[in-house]
């Protein structure tokens, strides 16, 4: 059986569709309407973002901060071809409570870093470069996982 190569523009379009659905706006690929990360976070108050969930006491704010750190690591790798030094436990230990201003700042930081990563992915022409496609998919999948955690926490808070 002969395989047909996938054109880089097709890969780019698929990656960006999934990225956009995860962060910005649902297109019906895998999320329900109005459940993207930014749509979800727009409905979360600072008080809700600071409520602790479960034995690990992770807050929605901590999940958002973790996504930021993860995307910054992905961005660093896309730019430099290597992982940066990251203390993965720090965000879980240090980000818990946010006031209204801190919550806005955290959401704005997420918007800024996700826009930078999206721009890097948009500029990618060589999806065969080491780890390029894997990094793009990891950014999407990892962020979608935390979107699910945020949505579960929000459902628990509202119940």
Give the residue from 34, 100, 103 showing the smallest Cα distance to 62.
Answer: 103
The domains found in the chain, sorted by start residue, are: 8-158 (1.20.120)
pLDDT confidence band for 105 (50 / 70 / 90): very high
Q: Is the pLDDT of residue 54 over 70?
A: no
Distance CA 152, CA 159 (A): 11
User: Which is higher by pLDDT, 69 or 131?
Assistant: 69
Q: SS3 for 39-61, per residue?
A: HHHCCCCHHHHCCCECCCCECHH
Residue 36: predicted pLDDT: 96
Residue 80: predicted pLDDT: 84
The pLDDT mean for the chain works out to: 91
Residue 4: predicted pLDDT: 83
Average pLDDT estimate for 21-36:
92
Dump pLDDT digits (tens) for 60-70. 999 999 999 99
CB 139 within 8 A of CB 70: yes
CB 149 within 8 A of CB 77: no
pLDDT confidence band for 118 (50 / 70 / 90): very high
Highest mean pLDDT: which range of 26-40, 44-58, 108-122, 124-138: 108-122
Average pLDDT estimate for 38-45:
96
Distance CA 44, CA 37 (A): 11
């Amino acid at each position: 059986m002969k395989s047909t190569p996938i054109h880089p523009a097709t890969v780019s379009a698929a990656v960006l569709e999934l990225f956009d659905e995860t962060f910005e706006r649902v297109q019906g690929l895998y999320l329900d309407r109005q459940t993207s990360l930014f749509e979800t976070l727009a409905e979360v108050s600072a008080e809700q973002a600071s409520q602790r969930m479960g034995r690990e006491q992770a807050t929605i704010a901590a999940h958002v901060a973790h996504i930021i750190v993860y995307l910054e690591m992905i961005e660093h790798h896309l730019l430099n071809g290597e992982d940066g030094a990251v203390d993965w436990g720090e965000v879980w230990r240090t980000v818990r409570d946010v006031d209204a201003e801190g919550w806005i700042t955290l959401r704005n930081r997420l918007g800024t870093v996700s826009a930078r990563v999206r721009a890097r992915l948009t500029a990618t022409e060589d999806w065969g470069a080491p780890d390029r496609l894997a990094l793009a998919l990891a950014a999407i999948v990892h962020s979608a996982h935390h979107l699910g955690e945020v949505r579960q926490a929000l459902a628990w808070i509202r119940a």
